[in-house]
């Protein structure tokens, strides 16, 4: 029988994927009018008030400016997050949401690779095979023999996935000594300030027609962040993480409803290979996660 905490975590992860898919759909819509830097700025600026209220509600305001904060890691994470969002937004200009999601699913594989040199973790030989299979799935989805998909947009999405993986690994380092509120707050500040500075020379004025999109962007992003935090708080990460792939179903639905497009067989086939590899890694990480939890003081 699945523990109630794990079931709650799974439900929260499914909700998080739905919220983030809504947010990414809005990013794609905004990318048709604004530059990637301005979209990143709008993403940060709309979320910052909600993040500040949440941190104040949790009573963790002082933790945001504590002397023990690892400022260099926060700065690097800020640059990586801003780069990730700009690259992802650029890729969404030419790719469908499902195609972009398929390529971003390579991030867990990259995280596993980076955990060796940066976190000092060990990767078993069969895990290396799973990682290699996952990258084969990326090649299938890219269709290198077709100039239609192996494009700057696709490469930008892959680069965004690498930035996300690096940011995730650094976040795990920071979370060893700091509360999650510092990660969320300073990441949002980095998106806001960095995006504004980069977009300022070519800033496009906002109109009344953008208000609804920005409100939706703020709410969906904030709810997604809360839901994913709730997911990993109530269950084992190895059991919950595979449900992140449910985002592909939402991406396909939004592509069809908003842009009247569907991914082709190559995209779905490559995505299936990547997801299978990620599920294998998650399944075989579960015993190690339980042993680490039991051995922790």
pLDDT of residue 288 exceeding 60? no
Taking residues 23-29, report their average pLDDT: 95
Q: How confident is the model at residue 147 (pLDDT cuts 50, 70, 90)?
A: low
pLDDT of residue 35 exceeding 80? yes
Q: Give pLDDT, residue 152.
A: 87
Orientation angle between helical segments 97-104 and 4-31, nearest 10 degrees: 130
Q: How confident is the model at residue 290 (pLDDT cuts 50, 70, 90)?
A: very low
Separation CA 166–CA 111 (nearest Å): 7
Separation CA 84–CA 24 (nearest Å): 13
Q: Greater confidence, 116 or 50? A: 50
Task: Kindly state the percentage of the chain with pLDDT values over 70.
Answer: 86
pLDDT of residue 43 exceeding 90? yes
Taking residues 173-186, report their average pLDDT: 84
Phi-psi region of 162 (alpha: psi -120 to 50; beta: other; left: phi over 0): alpha
Q: Give pLDDT, residue 229.
A: 75
Structure tokens at 9: 């975590």
pLDDT of residue 4 exceeding 80? no
Q: How confident is the model at residue 279 (pLDDT cuts 50, 70, 90)?
A: confident
pTM, two decimal places: 0.84
| Tens-place pLDDT, residues 128-146 | 787 788 888 887 877 765 5
Please tell me the least confidently modeled range out of 61-65, 164-168, 287-291.
287-291
Q: How confident is the model at residue 86 (pLDDT cuts 50, 70, 90)?
A: very high
**Contact partners, residue 170, CB within 8 Å, separation at least 6:** 73, 76, 77, 80, 118
What Cα–Cα distance (Å) separates residue 18 from each residue in 82, 247, 264? Answer: 22, 7, 22
pLDDT of residue 293 exceeding 60? no
pLDDT of residue 286 exceeding 60? no
Report whether 199 contacts 41 (CB < 8 A): yes
Task: Kindly state the percentage of the chain with pLDDT values over 90.
Answer: 40
Q: Report DSSP letters for 178-227, one per residue.
A: S-HHHHHHHHHHHHHHHHHHHHGGGPPPP-GGGHHHHHHHHHHHHHHHHH
Q: Give pLDDT, residue 276.
A: 87
Separation CA 227–CA 221 (nearest Å): 10
Taking residues 278-290, report their average pLDDT: 61
Mean residue pLDDT of the chain comes to: 84
pLDDT of residue 153 exceeding 50? yes
pLDDT of residue 296 exceeding 80? no
pLDDT of residue 261 exceeding 60? yes
pLDDT of residue 199 exceeding 70? yes
Residues listed for the chain:
297
């Amino acid at each position: 029988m699945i523990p109630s905490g794990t079931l709650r975590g799974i439900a929260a992860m499914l909700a998080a994927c739905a919220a983030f898919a809504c947010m990414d759909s809005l990013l794609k819509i905004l990318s048709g009018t604004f530059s990637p830097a301005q979209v990143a700025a709008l993403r940060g600026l709309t979320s910052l008030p909600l993040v500040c209220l949440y941190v104040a509600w949790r009573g963790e305001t002082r933790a945001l400016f504590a002397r023990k904060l690892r400022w260099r890691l926060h700065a690097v994470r800020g640059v990586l997050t801003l780069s990730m969002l700009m690259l992802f937004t650029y890729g969404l200009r030419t790719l469908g949401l499902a195609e972009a999601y398929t390529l971003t699913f390579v991030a867990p594989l990259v995280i596993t690779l980076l955990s060796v040199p940066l976190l000092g973790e060990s990767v078993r030989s069969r895990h290396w095979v799973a990682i290699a299979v996952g990258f084969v799935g990326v090649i299938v989805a890219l269709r290198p023999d077709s100039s239609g998909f192996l494009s700057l947009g696709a490469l930008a999405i892959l680069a965004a996935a690498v930035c996300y993986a690096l940011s995730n690994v650094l976040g795990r380092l920071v979370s060893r000594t700091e509360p999650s509120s510092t990660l969320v707050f300073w990441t949002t500040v980095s998106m806001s300030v960095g995006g504004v500075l980069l977009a300022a020379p070519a800033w496009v004025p906002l109109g009344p027609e953008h208000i609804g999109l920005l409100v939706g962007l703020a709410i969906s992003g904030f709810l997604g962040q809360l839901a994913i935090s709730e997911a990993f708080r109530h269950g084992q990460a190895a059991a919950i993480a595979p449900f992140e792939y449910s985002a592909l179903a939402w991406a396909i639905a939004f592509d069809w409803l908003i842009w009247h497009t569907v991914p082709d067989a190559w995209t779905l086939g490559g995505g299936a290979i990547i997801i299978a590899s990620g599920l294998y890694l998650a399944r075989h990480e579960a015993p190690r996660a339980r042993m680490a939890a039991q051995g922790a003081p």
